[in-house]
Amino acid sequence: MLLTLLALSLAATPEFSFAFTNADGTQLLALPPVTNPVSLNRVVCDGRVLDVKYLREQPKGAKDTGRQTARNFAQVKGALFRLVKGTMPADALCLLGTAKAFSKRTFAAVTPETGERCEASTATLMGELGKRKVTRCIPTGSFPGGRLAFASYETEGDSALAAVALFQDQGAAALRRFPAKWEKRAPSCWRADDGCEFDATSYRVAFSMRGPAGLELYSLWAGPEGENAEVLRVTGGELKVIASGGRYWSPE
């Protein structure tokens, strides 16, 4: 149950680090740990790959609030980068990588969808993948070669379940499961004060990556207390988390 966030990589790989942008989208601060910041020279926030340059290690400021946000950007301790050219979205949590890692991958932005319910065939597939009855199914996004949907499932005993599914034009479907323990009148199951209801709009896939290991997705999961980032890799019928990080942003 993800009720609090720490601003560090939880399952880092040498290829990736996570960073958030400043108010005008021209600089980034990497979330620790970062073992070799000089090697990180590419960034992707929304499917566009831009060059970045490592500047220096920024010290903690006297007025640091402990929040990893654009408002507190100048006060946060961390590896500081600037975009060589162009800008990224302001106050965004992005993926940093090496030129070698990113040159092996092609990127595509995910277009959000806002339909009220999935097609019947999609809802049926979501039930088969989750192996329990679907109570809600909505489409959430699409990109070249794939589409995404969210489902919540009927609670079984104290077992609650939500999931995001990837359906590929070529290839098997894959599921990112979000299991949780359900308790009557509990204030939280997945995120702080969620009322034991998974908010489908809080979890979004920002872009896809295709490379030597196959298809990967970059997702963001926002909550009242902060934001998680995940790199998901299609592994059989699973969207496996291969790297994750997070930042703390509330209250500010």
**Which amino acid, residue 138?**
I
**Which amino acid, residue 4?**
T
Q: Per this entry, what is the length of the chain? A: 252
Residues 6+ apart with CB under 8 A from 111: 141, 142, 143
| pLDDT in the model for residue 184 | 84
Q: Is 173 helix (H, G, I), strand (E, B) or coil?
A: coil
Under 8 Å between Cβ of 199 and 181: no
Q: What percent of the chain stands above pLDDT 70?
A: 94
| pLDDT in the model for residue 72 | 98
What is the pLDDT confidence band of residue 6, given thresholds at 50, 70 and 90?
very low
Write the DSSP assignment of 40-55 as a string of letters.
--EEESSS-EEEEEEE
What is the pLDDT confidence band of residue 7, given thresholds at 50, 70 and 90?
very low
Average pLDDT, integer, range 157-172: 95
CA 228 vs. chain centroid, Å, equals 6
Under 8 Å between Cβ of 106 and 49: no
Nearest to 81 by CA among 102, 51, 61: 51
| pLDDT greater than 50 at residue 69 | yes
Nearest to 228 by CA among 251, 248, 252: 248
Query: How much is the mean pLDDT over the chain?
Result: 92
Q: How far is CA 223 from CA 140, 157, 175, in A?
A: 18, 26, 21
| pLDDT in the model for residue 9 | 39
What is the pLDDT confidence band of residue 1, given thresholds at 50, 70 and 90?
very low
Spatial separation of the C-alpha atoms in residues 7 and 53, rounded to whole Å: 22
| pLDDT greater than 80 at residue 252 | no
Under 8 Å between Cβ of 130 and 151: yes
pLDDT in tens, 36-54: 999 999 999 999 999 999 9
Residues 6+ apart with CB under 8 A from 86: 50
What is the pLDDT confidence band of residue 82, given thresholds at 50, 70 and 90?
very high
The model carries a pTM of 0.91
Burial of 39 (0-12, 13-18, 19+ CB in 10 A): middle
| pLDDT in the model for residue 14 | 62
| pLDDT greater than 60 at residue 220 | yes
